[in-house]
Amino acid sequence: MTKDQIFEFFRRLAEDNPDPQTELEYGNAYQLVVSVALSAQATDVGVNKATRALFAKVETPQAMLDLGEEGLKEHIKTIGLFNSKARNVILLSQLLVDEYGGEVPDTREDLVRLPGVGRKTANVVLNCWFGQETFAVDTHIFRVGNRTGLAKGKTPEQVEAKLEKRVPQPFRLGAHHWLILHGRYVCKARTPECWRCQVEDLCSFRKKVLEKPKGR
């Protein structure tokens, strides 16, 4: 895509959804960290179902430690890999209490020190809570970046670097939300719904599905 095409790509997505937000439910920075950590290889819908009752009880790292690993498992046992995720949440909560006064740090370097928090999770927290212009590349963004030609790369890190370089203002803060939502609901993995895509003409994907399949 050219610079003008990229600008128009995001302009249209922004026009359709002026205030994009994560679909994870949380009340503070700590709950956001926990939600994103739990969302690995799981859906936001599934995570939200598990965390509603949990977050009614737990708002701080210390409260999570008081609940304990077994208590946490009871809340998140419907989420994939819940055993390892529960262990990591307890460990990251302990680290936040011991080294950060129970507060979530606002730098990527500090965030990725937390057990179960990788670069993607850190980028989500920095963007959604601290308002930093980061690009959290999940499977949806990786697919959309490569499929459309917006940001091609063989790894999430390569796609992130391309987005960092190519996404213009005023779209940088909301870019990763627009791309995730576009990938989740329109540019789907198995059958992209190009027939209703607002940026289809800007996309370089060769196998576009321009007619709605029967029965859909």
Tell me which residues are annotated as active site.
120, 138
Report phi then psi at 81, rounded to 5.
60, 35
187 is in an annotated binding site: yes
128 is in an annotated binding site: no
Distance CA 173, CA 201 (A): 24
Q: Residue 26 CA to chain centroid, in angstroms?
A: 13
203 is in an annotated binding site: yes
Distance CA 8, CA 2 (A): 10
**Range 142-156 burial, b when 16+ CB lie within 10 A, else e:** bbbbbbbebbebeeb
Question: Which residue numbers belong to the known binding site for [4Fe-4S] cluster?
Answer: 187, 194, 197, 203
Question: Which residue numbers belong to the known binding site?
Answer: 187, 194, 197, 203
